Structure 1
């Protein structure tokens, strides 16, 4: 037993020395992830403390009841609605973005004109670099009641203007569309790389067998990129209970008429934090989100593992 442990230890240090160049290249990324992803986890202790700036994180007293900081969120009457909104919006984002990203990747991979291909790819990818502040301004200039582009077109057609900023249900679609416009380009690049990596001999064989372009996409391209699609979806599912604060806050702002339809956990907590400055409450909401995300990714990954273990994350 002792000899076996010594052998494993010797093998470990041998591999460490052998791969030292690769490990040194990996070190900056590992340190960055540790500082910005793992160290902040210690802040979750604030969910169970009455934080004050004088005593700091570790010196602040514990709450009398273990769930005292969670009471504000659940007793507000908004816990279920904002949790449901967060889940449903992210589910829509995953479905719509994945569909369009795969669709555009396949279309561009089949495009013959390289100039059209590069121009289209750049046009789809460009919105990813536009900040949500700019996107919010674009949305306002398109949709505002008084002089928005949409109402201007309706006026030219002899139709009555529509107050979109007072129509909550409409924003469920508007938010999904704006998110797709901004985010699809990034995902498309990943899927385009996967499509490009498909063995061309498979396509040539399918052509010889008489398969048209749609049959080749269905039976050759899509099965080849399916592992990439599943992996990307699983990564998105891991954040399904986390709302994009920039997206919702910049598009909706402080418009109370839209809160019931657009409020997610992050925007609700952000507004509450501005009003109460209760850091413990904000930390408890973040802890609540983390638990939901953890449970969701474990369940979904478990299902994928049972159906096709090679596609699972772990």
Structure 2
């Protein structure tokens, strides 16, 4: 006797949809409901803003709007590229972001490896909380903390230097010292949170590998370097590739909160974002800012694509696609 199959996109007797996607949506409806606000936020502030990229090629007029403003082609890009400071701020942006990427990644991996070796659960929770806490502080609060450390007369750093017989340093007038200071603050604030991702990757490693290593008499150092690190290498590579897309974006919140409008420190700390922000305050033309933002995004996309191509050729497990 022939049986009639029910079409896949019809609903069953119970009223639940039979289609794969709809079934998944219905089954986990409360989970998707929790994600909905984040999805709406991303849609509004990321995808819905794409038409406004046209501003980069216009002399934007608020009264005329997006589709009636004067079209001027690539003229807005001259605002940045013809500037005397374009090369300086571009090099500063790349240099600082490369330092941030290398050192934050290195310390995040080290912290994750150390967390993995802790056996006391109470100390583990305390250590994780301590390392993650700085991530929840705003850069404004951090800037005041740094001022108490580096101010000329009452700063803790200068008091320590004087206690050992040295001369106090006017840190806020010493431009060459600030790349190292900013990297140190970036590590302190973000490495703890970044280590959670690597720790989660370590937690997914098959425990039988460590048991086999124990039988073979491997030390903890050997298990860390021969098992843990190679197996989390794809995660490190993928996160590094994703961060390469932001290498032309300076951490505006960090640098502007700490450096502000201190022109003495611009030679080593002025980045594209802070430069454009100052220019936007003075000129008030959003088209120039949009042009620079489009330039940053385009270069970031190309860097990710090229880096992913190289990674796929030599380390396929670490490629994004």
Distance 2:315 2:40 in 1: 33
Matched, 1:185 2:205: no
Which residues of 2 match residues 162-181 of structure 1 at below 5 A? 162-181=169-188
Cα offsets for 1:145-188 (capped at 9, x unmatched)? 12111111222222111011111111010011101110111111
Who is 2:205 aligned against?
Answer: 198
Tell me the secondary structure at the aligned position of residue 19 of structure 2: helix
Distance 1:79 1:236 in 2: 23
Residue pair 2:108, 2:198 contacting (<8 A) in 1 also:
yes
Matched, 1:41 2:46: no
Who is 2:295 aligned against?
Answer: 288
Who is 2:21 aligned against?
Answer: 16
Distance 2:92 2:171 in 1: 19
Task: Label 1:22 to 1:46 Cα distance change in 2 as closer, same or farther (>3 A).
Answer: farther
Who is 2:3 aligned against?
Answer: none
Task: Give, in angstroms, the shift of residue 17 of structure 1.
Answer: 3.2
Aligned residues: 304
Task: Give, in angstroms, the shift of residue 20 of structure 1.
Answer: 2.9
Greater per-residue helix proportion? 1
Tell me the secondary structure at the aligned position of residue 261 of structure 2: coil
Who is 2:233 aligned against?
Answer: 226
Tell me the secondary structure at the aligned position of residue 292 of structure 2: helix
Which residues of 2 match residues 74-153 of structure 1 at below 5 A? 74-153=81-160
Aligned-residue Cα RMSD (Å) equals 2.0
Distance 2:126 2:21 in 1: 45
Task: Label 1:84 to 1:9 Cα distance change in 2 as closer, same or farther (>3 A).
Answer: farther
- TM normalised by structure 1 equals 0.92
Cα offsets for 1:87-114 (capped at 9, x unmatched)? 1211111110111111111111111222
Distance 2:86 2:295 in 1: 11
Distance 2:145 2:20 in 1: 54
Task: Label 1:306 to 1:22 Cα distance change in 2 as closer, same or farther (>3 A).
Answer: farther
Task: Give, in angstroms, the shift of residue 15 of structure 1.
Answer: 2.9
2:310 to 291, 303, 308: 303
Q: Structure 1 unaligned runs (5+)?
A: 1-6
- TM normalised by structure 2 equals 0.90
Distance 1:302 1:224 in 2: 21
Residue pair 2:76, 2:288 contacting (<8 A) in 1 also:
yes
Task: Give, in angstroms, the shift of residue 32 of structure 1.
Answer: 3.0
Task: Label 1:9 to 1:50 Cα distance change in 2 as closer, same or farther (>3 A).
Answer: farther
